[in-house]
């Protein structure tokens, strides 16, 4: 059996589980209409303004940093598998790569992107 087919089986299992449980709950659970039930859950007074509030730029900076370092991990995995074959030469090249990234992290640190104000 190929792995891709098995992965598809697992995926379908997951979708089936959520679908079946929602269907079961629809049959079993009671429903009662009440306009106040649909209000957003807050302190008891009606919500003011839109719910899509504005956000700190801090989250955005962390997301960008994450992107850089996650792509780095993706690039390092193939090297890790053939590490024993490429030997010292590969290590030197990867160290350059890591040093450049570490400099990037140091720059972000110095600039205060890691500071939560």
Partner 1 sequence: MFHFEVVTNWIDALLREHLSEGWTLLIEFILIGVVILTVYSVLALILIYLERKVCAFFQCRIGPNRVGPFGVLQSVADMVKILLKEIIKINKVDPFLFRLACYLVIIASICTFGAIPFDKGLQAVDFNIGVFYLLAVSSIGVVGILIAGWSSNNKYTLIGAMRSGAQLISYELSCGLSLLAIVVLSGTMQLSQIVEQQADAWFIFKGHIPALIAFIIYLIAGHAETNRGPFDLPEAESELTAGYHTEYSGIQFGFFYLAEYLNMFIIAAIAATVFLGGWMPLHIPGWESFNGIMDYIPPVLWFLGKTFFCIFLALWVRWSFPRLRIDQLLSLEWKILMPISLINILLMTLLVL
DSSP annotation of 54 reads -
Please answer whether residues 98 and 73 qualify as being in contact, where contact means their C-beta atoms are separated by less than 8 angstroms.
no
Chain position carrying tokens 């996650």: 70
Least Å from the CB of residue 13 to partner 1: 4
Least Å from the CB of residue 107 to partner 1: 13
Closest CA to 77 of 59, 97, 58: 97
Least Å from the CB of residue 87 to partner 1: 7
**Residue 22, SS3?**
helix
60's CB contacts (< 8 A; 6+ apart) are: none
DSSP annotation of 46 reads P
Least Å from the CB of residue 50 to partner 1: 9
Binding site for partner 1 (CB under 8 A): 1, 3, 5-7, 9-18, 21-22, 24-26, 28-32, 37-42, 47, 51-53, 55, 58-59, 62-63, 65-66, 69-70, 73, 76-77, 80-84, 87-88, 91, 94-95, 98, 101-102, 105, 109, 114-116
């Amino acid at each position: 059996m190929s792995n891709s087919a098995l992965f598809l089986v697992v995926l379908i299992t997951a979708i089936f589980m959520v679908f079946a449980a929602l269907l079961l709950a629809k049959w079993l659970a009671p429903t009662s209409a009440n306009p106040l039930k649909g209000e957003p859950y807050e302190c008891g007074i009606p919500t003011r303004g839109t719910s899509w509030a504005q956000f700190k730029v801090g989250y955005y900076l962390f997301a960008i940093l994450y992107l850089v370092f996650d792509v780095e991990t993706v690039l390092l995995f193939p090297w890790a598998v053939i590490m024993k074959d490429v030997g010292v030469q590969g290590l030197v090249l990867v160290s350059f790569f890591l040093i450049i990234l570490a400099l990037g992290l140091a720059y972000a640190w110095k600039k205060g992107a890691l500071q939560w104000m």
